[in-house]
Copies of this chain bind each other. A is one copy, B any other.
């Protein structure tokens, strides 16, 4: 997406479109790898000479509050982030550590929510082995 469009999206959500926020948002929309703050930091510091860790955290928290990105609480070590804010499932491979997306019908998932509770976000995720890490079948 054009940087100008990204800036417009931020403005539309009441977020001042600074260079840094646009870069973080752009990274999350382009890379569907559920990166950690550190991964984003390493990638962006290569591109931009000065880009502090603090700013990554500031930008991520601002984008989270605006609802433009999502936090993925799957890995115990660190928080992961996702530019895809639509409801979808996650699969984490215990061998290679990669996190995969898969489609789920949000209405079906929500139907499991116990009565009396007001659901705001639903999460379905599996851990196991991905096809690449499984031994080939005979």
The interface of chain A, by Cβ under 8 A from chain B, is 71, 73-76, 79, 89, 91, 94, 100, 102, 104, 109, 112-114, 116-131, 134
Interchain CA distance A121-B114 in the complex, whole Å? 21
A124 with B127, Cβ < 8 A, contacts A104-B112, A112-B104 known? no
| B118 in contact with A129 (CB, 8 Å) | yes
Number of copies: 2
| A113 in contact with B91 (CB, 8 Å) | yes
A126 with B134, Cβ < 8 A, contacts A71-B76, A76-B79, A91-B117 known? no
| A127 in contact with B131 (CB, 8 Å) | no
A118, A119, A124, A126: most-surrounded residue (chain B CB, <10 A):
A126
25 A-B contacts (beta carbon < 8 Å): A73-B73, A76-B79, A91-B113, A91-B114, A91-B117, A102-B112, A102-B114, A109-B124, A112-B124, A113-B128, A116-B131, A116-B134, A117-B130, A118-B129, A118-B134, A119-B126, A119-B127, A119-B128, A120-B126, A120-B127, A122-B124, A122-B125, A123-B123, A123-B127, A124-B124
